[in-house]
């Protein structure tokens, strides 16, 4: 086996030394530092499952030796019957190599059939679910998989919603983890959150529902005290944002805003207007706030009243627009009393129509918009009374 395996790699390496030399070196090191006990397993994982040599070596140490290929071949055939591509097979067995030694009839097939016959998922959907959630197949059907999926179906109603949730709910099928979520859902119901919005929260940010019930109650109470209406979609959207980060990270972001002159009330006001803006990283908050206040001369209130300014790219959107405006203003092509904040916020097509396409006879405008003029000094914008 070792001779055959090495021969295959050596043959491949003759046409591409750069690609296979590291693999040969890994194989030599593997054989030097251990017995050949795992070599048949390594060979099978590479040849039949598509794993890289390093992944196959790592996987072989986590599973028993493949003494016969009969059962592994049946496992692969079952996966292929359900439409798994070569790429998907490689992903599945890289993440969970012990599946190659699972009983295809007693352990795996009932789960595939449950997804297909009972829940009504198509074969491509099943492949997507398993690749997105590697805890499904190793789980116990009656005690873990069925209760969790029944819970998801009762909450989310449609297979499309369940499929979307499972792609995000990557931790969700082991250790009866749905039981972590249920108390938090009960908390939402207690606060009067509609079922539709609870389902929406689960689909957009399932992590928010995985906090301990004590922490989750703190988040819900905080959102309610900010003035969000439990019956509105914005309520669960705010929970999804606050619940997606640690309490300490939330507090750090608030402190960054306060360091630029916003009050606690301003931060809450901006959060109520657009909860998503608090997903912006600390670093980006600092960069944007510094630019808006110190480069453009905006006021803290301009940001708190227009929090979507914190969701844009400084390099790709704000600076090119400012460069265009600077050229137009410097050459008297637009009036000085234009509203800078609204101009920065305006839709892309509208901005281009009003400030780029209209002045296409000036090559500098297009160059500025493409960022080809470099990083401009924008004191002119700051000094003009916007």
Residue 277 is encoded by which pair of tokens?
């803006």
Can you tell me the mean pLDDT for 36-57?
A: 86
> Is 367 part of a structural domain of the chain?
yes
The pLDDT value recorded for residue 4 is 47
> Is 373 part of a structural domain of the chain?
yes
Confidence of residue 180 (pLDDT cuts 50, 70, 90): confident
The pLDDT value recorded for residue 35 is 52
The pLDDT value recorded for residue 1 is 46
- The CA-atom distances, in angstroms, between 178 and each of 108, 146, 160 are 22, 11, 19
Instruction: List phi, psi (to 5°) of 299.
Output: -100, 155
> Is 181 part of a structural domain of the chain?
no
Confidence of residue 374 (pLDDT cuts 50, 70, 90): low
The pLDDT value recorded for residue 36 is 52
For residues 251 and 277, the answer to whether their CB atoms sit within 8 Å is no
Residue 261 is encoded by which pair of tokens?
């002159």
Helix axis angle for 86-95 and 53-60, nearest 10°, is 40
Tens digit of pLDDT for each residue in 186-200?
999 999 999 999 999
- pTM greater than 0.85 (yes/no): no
Residue 204 is encoded by which pair of tokens?
């957009």
Comparing 143 with 380, the larger pLDDT belongs to: 143
For residues 65 and 41, the answer to whether their CB atoms sit within 8 Å is yes
Tens digit of pLDDT for each residue in 261-304?
999 999 999 999 999 999 999 999 999 999 999 988 899 999 99
- Residue 24, C-beta contacts closer than 8 angstroms, at least 6 positions apart: 6, 9, 10, 13
Comparing 347 with 5, the larger pLDDT belongs to: 347
> Is 303 part of a structural domain of the chain?
no
Comparing 203 with 173, the larger pLDDT belongs to: 203
The pLDDT value recorded for residue 385 is 39
| CA atoms of 262 and 241, how far apart (whole Å) | 20
The pLDDT value recorded for residue 118 is 84
Tens digit of pLDDT for each residue in 112-142?
998 888 888 889 888 888 887 767 777 777 7
| CA atoms of 129 and 352, how far apart (whole Å) | 42
**70: how many CB neighbours lie within 10 A of its CB?**
9
The pLDDT value recorded for residue 155 is 85
For residues 165 and 202, the answer to whether their CB atoms sit within 8 Å is yes
For residues 302 and 341, the answer to whether their CB atoms sit within 8 Å is yes
- The CA-atom distances, in angstroms, between 278 and each of 63, 142, 249 are 44, 41, 10
Q: Which residue from 382, 385, 370 is spatially nearest to 323, judged by alpha carbons?
A: 370
> Is 351 part of a structural domain of the chain?
yes
- Residue 116, C-beta contacts closer than 8 angstroms, at least 6 positions apart: 82, 122, 123, 126
Can you tell me the mean pLDDT for 33-58?
A: 82
**Which residues span the domain enclosing 360?**
312-386
> Is 386 part of a structural domain of the chain?
yes
> Is 355 part of a structural domain of the chain?
yes
Confidence of residue 254 (pLDDT cuts 50, 70, 90): very high
pLDDT above 60: residue 19: no
Confidence of residue 73 (pLDDT cuts 50, 70, 90): very high
> Is 282 part of a structural domain of the chain?
no
Please write down the HEC assignment for all residues of 337-352: CCCHHHHHHCCHHHHH
Total of domains in the chain? 1
For residues 76 and 49, the answer to whether their CB atoms sit within 8 Å is yes
The pLDDT value recorded for residue 176 is 55
Tens digit of pLDDT for each residue in 305-337?
999 999 999 989 999 999 999 889 888 898 878
For residues 356 and 366, the answer to whether their CB atoms sit within 8 Å is yes
**59: how many CB neighbours lie within 10 A of its CB?**
23
């Amino acid at each position: 086996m070792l001779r055959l395996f090495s021969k295959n790699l050596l043959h491949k390496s003759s046409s591409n030394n750069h690609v296979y030399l590291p693999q040969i070196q890994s194989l030599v090191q593997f054989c030097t530092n251990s017995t050949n006990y795992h070599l048949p397993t390594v060979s099978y994982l590479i040849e039949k499952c598509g794993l890289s040599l390093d992944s196959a070596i790592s996987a072989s140490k986590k599973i028993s030796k493949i003494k016969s290929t009969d059962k592994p071949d049946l496992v692969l055939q079952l996966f292929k019957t359900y439409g798994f591509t070569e790429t998907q097979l490689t992903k599945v067995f890289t993440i969970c190599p012990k599946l190659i030694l699972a009983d295809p009839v007693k352990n795996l097939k009932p789960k595939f059939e449950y997804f297909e016959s009972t829940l009504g998922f198509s074969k491509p959907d099943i492949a997507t679910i398993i690749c997105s959630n590697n805890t499904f197949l190793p789980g116990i059907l009656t005690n873990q998989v069925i209760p969790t999926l029944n819970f998801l179906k009762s909450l989310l109603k449609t297979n499309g919603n369940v499929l979307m949730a499972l792609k995000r709910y990557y931790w969700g099928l082991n250790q009866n983890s749905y039981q972590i979520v249920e108390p938090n859902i009960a908390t939402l119901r207690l606060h009067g959150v509609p079922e539709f919005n609870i389902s929406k929260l689960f689909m957009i940010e399932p992590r928010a529902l995985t906090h301990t019930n004590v922490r989750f109650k703190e988040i819900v109470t905080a959102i309610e005290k900010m003035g969000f209406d439990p019956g509105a979609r914005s309520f669960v959207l705010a929970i999804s944002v606050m619940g997606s980060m640690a309490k300490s990270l939330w507090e750090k972001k608030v402190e960054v805003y306060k360091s630029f002159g916003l009050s606690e009330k301003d931060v809450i006001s901006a959060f109520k207007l657009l909860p998503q803006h608090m997903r912006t990283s600390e670093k980006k908050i600092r960069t944007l706030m510094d630019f808006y206040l110190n480069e453009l001369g905006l006021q803290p209130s301009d940001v708190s009243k227009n929090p979507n300014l914190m969701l844009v790219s400084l390099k790709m959107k704000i600076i090119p627009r400012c460069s265009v405006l600077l050229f137009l203003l410097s050459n008297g092509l637009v009036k000085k009393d234009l509203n800078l904040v609204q101009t920065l916020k305006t839709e892309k097509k509208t901005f281009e129509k009003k400030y780029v396409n209209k002045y296409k006879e000036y090559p500098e405008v297009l160059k500025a918009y493409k960022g080809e003029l470099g990083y401009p000094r924008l004191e002119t914008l700051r000094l003009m009374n916007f």
